[in-house]
Structure 1
Amino acid sequence: MEIIVSAQNTLIKEVKKLQQKKYRDFNKKYLVEGIRMVEEGLRYDVLESFFYDETICKTGRGSNLLHKIKEKVKSENNTGCYEVTSSILNGLAETETPQGIVAVAIQRITELPSLAYNNDTGLLLIIDGIQDPGNLGTLLRTAWACGTQAVICLPGTVEPFNNKVVRATMGSIFQIPLIINESWTNTKRWCYEQQYSLVAGDISGQFEYSKVHYPQKVALIIGNEGHGLMSVSPDQVDYKVKIPLLNGVESLNASVAGGILLYEIVRQRGSKPCHCD
């Protein structure tokens, strides 16, 4: 196989464009880098092309991954694997240590109607205006870890296919159903049609989070790091819950607060319906 040595190669130029949001949005694709993330992407069959340099074979794990990639390429006509120079690979990557591998992933975006469940239980996470990529990525990872059925990102939320978000998910972005840029009006209507209770985490909430008996179908809303709820008006939710803080601390990191609330809801699964009168 011939090594790609020019950054002006047409394929390389097209792939590099995926570092920009407008091209990710247009092509419905994004970049994944590093051995762990590419392993996860292979596992969930979301990767369509691969770019590697000689450093991938410096570890047994990397060599094994490259072997799996080449086997996949042999069996699929729409998948490509390309060896490139280290300078080209570093140009495609956004971290200093891409571990010798970058891949192109296909965005898996879900639509609200496809989430219609007939189950008596359910847990959704609604993100309202979070801006920090690390916070969103951590929340996606936590949501998947505790069995959340889907994450809904309202307008104004950082793009989930941003490279920093993708890395922070540690592979969860390949798995969890993700709805993006759905309006709050449509989201709220759908949640009520599906009999979800709307619960917002808020520092001015009227209930301490651990003293509430959560219903069996909950849509938890986490707002912006500095301003709280953005698209969502406090009077549009069923109730607001707060996490008590000590020693003069005014607020928690959004991903930390979201994790605490998600796991409290999960812990209570099977308890009595919520009574917040």
Structure 2
Amino acid sequence: MYHAKSLGRNNYQFYTEKLNQYATRHVQLEAGLKKALQDNEFHLVYQPKFNVETQQIVGLEALLRWESQELGIISPVEFIPLAEETGMINQIGNWAINQACCQLALWHGQGFEHIAVAVNLSARQLKADIISTIEVALAVSGLPAHALELELTESMIMGNPQDSVAVLSQLKALGLTIAIDDFGTGYSSLSYLKRFPIDTLKIDQEFVRDITEDPDDAAITSAIITLAHSLELNVVAEGVETQEQLNFLRDGGCDQVQGFLLSKPLTAINCLALLNQEKNS
């Protein structure tokens, strides 16, 4: 019944073994999520963001990972939508914000004050009391507000653009920076884009992947870079995996990149090692 409803209602679906397996998995994951925080099963990894010209690390994106004692490693693609659906994303997301702020504050104290950290926000978090959550995280960690960046997808903020402008303006007033993730994959409204108090546009890897082979992807990417710079916004390209892609983005004026070509997501220990290696080189 729920499967039929998820497909748009007013239809019927036959029982299959695959559907039963999906339902069982769904129940297992939901039960696992409820105790994952208390059992300390979540952790963050950090993917560096590099200046295109210097290839120096200028920031980190904190990414949530879940390793269940019972179910093993669970992909974010699987558990984050479930956390959204059940409402647990608020509690999990708040943990991630606090963890990322405390970790970066520690690295700042070790001499890496120029590094910022980006944390992804969900639609539910944006509707919750996100302002006080951020204020507490910054106060407890001692991290300066300008070192924290919040990433939101364009579909999320365009779901209710007027409310989004109000909330983002409050967040911006705290002194942090705001990025629009996966730009170009949702339903952008250029009239609202200029009203959002944002600092960065992130080009989705869907466009970057075939940037050197597909003229359409190349044209879209170049257009996003030009649009962003005309609005005095920073541009970050995701999913950079080849030197050819990096060359194209550099020639096109992209500001920052992240992807497996330069670094995969790293544990906190390995991330610090990379920062120290760069500092001493």
TM-score normalised by length of structure 1: 0.27
Considering fraction of residues, name the structure with more helix: 2
Q: Which has the larger radius of gyration?
A: 1
TM-score normalised by length of structure 2: 0.27
